[in-house]
């Protein structure tokens, strides 16, 4: 584990974020304006954070999954299930806290299911989680009986639209989750074990790591994160939409993790950088919206920025930088 606190702030991801924000500012001069109204902050920057939360939270769980050389395609569908569970329970008259706990528990169960398929049946993660990606949306529709279940429960709505200490509630939840997960992963041995299993599962198992159990826990955690995201999205629209909640967000989450520098081949990972990746994606989305371009531009611009970031991270670029360093070193020795 590198010491994250000393990670230099100058890296392709933070440069990309600054560039995206500056471009947004040029296109929309009011971009950096933040105002205080009714006891909370408003402005495009806050909007970027708030809108970026669902993907950012998915990316927290996804980082751990990808670090084990896996992938979790089911998170979007799990969001839909979690929202559906919470919405149906409160409309059926159960207390809101119970609905929230049930939704989180269902998310964990979904993740554990994925984990068992991957760890013990040894199904390739992309296929194993595809099962729930497809079936999950069906399950969510069964729970909501095919309709959008709306609710007026104040707690659920607060999760999606409330505010705390001036910040939107989703942002607060994401920050707390980020801090807790980084602490959990880095102050325990879990981070090391995840990286070991991702680098070489056979060797890690022979070194005494219970890799099956670890994989189940990691996928379970990803399901838990997806359930939180699902609650936030449901709270935001005051209803559970089984068809559209979290649709395609699994892909944005994978993208956020990869932009954050975690390799799809597993191993080294950084949860904080993945969250940064999610913010970059959202900054682009918001920028295009506020600058008045038609949203169709969104996807194309996104692709362009992503190619830029990956070029900066590519082995070719790394080699070029290394080569220049080496040449300088040779020149220094020669002189």
Partner 1 sequence: MVDQATDNPFVLEARGVIKIFGQSRALDGVNFGLRRGEVHALLGENGAGKSTLIKILTGAYQPDGGEVLLDGAPVHFADPLNAQAHGIGTVYQEVNLLPNRSVAENLFLGRQPTRFGFVRKSVIEKQARELLSRYGLDIDVQAELGTYSVAVQQIVAIARAVELSGKVLVLDEPTASLDKLEVEKLFEVVNQLKQRGMAIVFITHFLDQVFAISDRVTILRNGRLIGTEPLSGLSRTDVVRMMLGKDITFAPAVTGIEERAAGPALVEFKECGKVGKIRPFSLKVRRGEVVGVAGLLGSGRTEMARLMFGADQCDAGEIRIGDKPVSLGSPAQAIAHGFGFCPEDRKIEGILGDLSVRENIVIALQGKLGWFKALNRDEQMEIAGKFAEDLDIRAASLDMPVKLLSGGNQQKVILARWLATDPNFLILDEPTRGIDVGAHAEIVRTINRLREEGLALLVISSELDEIVAYSSRIVVMRDREMVAELTGDNINPSVIVQAIAAQHETLSAEGASA
In the list 91, 205, 291, 313, the residue contacting partner 1 (rule: CB under 8 A) is 205
Report the residue number, 11 or 200, with the smaller CB distance to partner 1.
200
Q: Could you tell me the smallest distance in angstroms from the CB atom of residue 177 to partner 1?
A: 19
Q: Could you tell me the smallest distance in angstroms from the CB atom of residue 317 to partner 1?
A: 17
Contacts (CB under 8 A) with partner 1, residues 257-276: 267-268
Report the residue number, 202 or 316, with the smaller CB distance to partner 1.
202
User: Is residue 204 at the binding interface for partner 1, with CB under 8 A as the rule?
Assistant: yes
Q: Could you tell me the smallest distance in angstroms from the CB atom of residue 59 to partner 1?
A: 21
Q: How far is residue 226's CA from residue 206's CA, in Å, rounded to a whole number?
A: 32
Angle between helix axes 75-91 and 44-67 (nearest 10 degrees) is 120
**Structure tokens of 101?**
């706990």
Q: Is 335 exposed, middle or buried (0-12, 13-18, 19+ CB in 10 A)?
A: exposed
User: Is residue 202 at the binding interface for partner 1, with CB under 8 A as the rule?
Assistant: yes
Nearest CA-CA partner of 313 in 240, 264, 247: 264
Report the chain's terminal Cα–Cα distance, integer Å: 37
**Structure tokens of 61?**
């769980």
User: Is residue 330 at the binding interface for partner 1, with CB under 8 A as the rule?
Assistant: yes
Binding mask 135-174 for partner 1 (x = CB under 8 A): ----------------------------------------
User: Is residue 206 at the binding interface for partner 1, with CB under 8 A as the rule?
Assistant: yes
Whether 51 and 286 have beta carbons less than 8 Å apart is answered as yes
Q: Could you tell me the smallest distance in angstroms from the CB atom of residue 255 to partner 1?
A: 22
C-beta neighbour count of 207 within 10 angstroms: 11
User: Is residue 313 at the binding interface for partner 1, with CB under 8 A as the rule?
Assistant: no
Q: How far is residue 229's CA from residue 231's CA, in Å, rounded to a whole number?
A: 5
DSSP 9: S
Task: State the residues that interact with partner 1 by CB under 8 A.
Answer: 1, 3, 187-190, 192-193, 195-196, 199-200, 202-210, 267-268, 326-327, 329-330
């Amino acid at each position: 584990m590198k010491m994250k606190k000393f990670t230099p702030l100058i890296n392709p991801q933070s440069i990309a974020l600054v560039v995206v924000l500056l471009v947004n500012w040029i296109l929309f001069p009011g971009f950096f304006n933040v105002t205080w109204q009714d006891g909370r902050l408003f402005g495009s920057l806050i909007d970027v954070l708030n809108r970026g939360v669902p993907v950012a939270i998915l990316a927290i769980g996804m980082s751990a999954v990808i670090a084990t050389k896996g992938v979790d395609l089911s998170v979007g569908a799990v969001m839909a299930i979690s929202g559906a569970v919470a919405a149906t329970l409160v409309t059926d008259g159960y207390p809101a806290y119970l609905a929230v706990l049930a939704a989180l528990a269902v998310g964990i169960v979904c993740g554990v299911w994925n984990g068992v398929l991957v760890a013990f049946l040894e199904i390739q993660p992309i296929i194993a989680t595809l099962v729930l990606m497809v079936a999950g949306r069906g399950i969510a529709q069964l729970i909501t009986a095919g309709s959008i279940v709306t609710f007026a429960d104040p707690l659920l709505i607060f999760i999606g639209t409330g505010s705390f200490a001036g910040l939107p509630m989703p942002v607060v939840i994401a920050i707390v989750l980020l801090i807790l997960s980084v602490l959990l992963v880095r102050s325990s041995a879990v981070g090391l074990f995840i990286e070991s299993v991702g680098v070489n599962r056979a060797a890690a198992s022979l070194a005494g790591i219970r890799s099956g159990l670890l994989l189940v826990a990691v996928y379970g955690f990803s399901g838990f994160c997806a359930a939180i995201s699902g609650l936030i999205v449901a709270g935001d629209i005051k209803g559970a939409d089984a068809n559209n909640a979290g649709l395609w967000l699994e892909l944005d989450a994978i993208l956020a993790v990869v932009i954050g520098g975690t390799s799809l081949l597993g191993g080294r990972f950084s949860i904080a950088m993945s969250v940064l990746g999610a913010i970059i994606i959202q900054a682009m989305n918001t920028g295009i919206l506020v600058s008045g371009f038609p949203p169709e531009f969104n996807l194309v611009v996104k692709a362009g920025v992503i190619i830029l970031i990956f070029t900066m991270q590519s082995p070719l670029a790394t080699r070029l930088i290394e080569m220049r360093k080496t040449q300088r070193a040779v020149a220094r020795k020669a002189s």
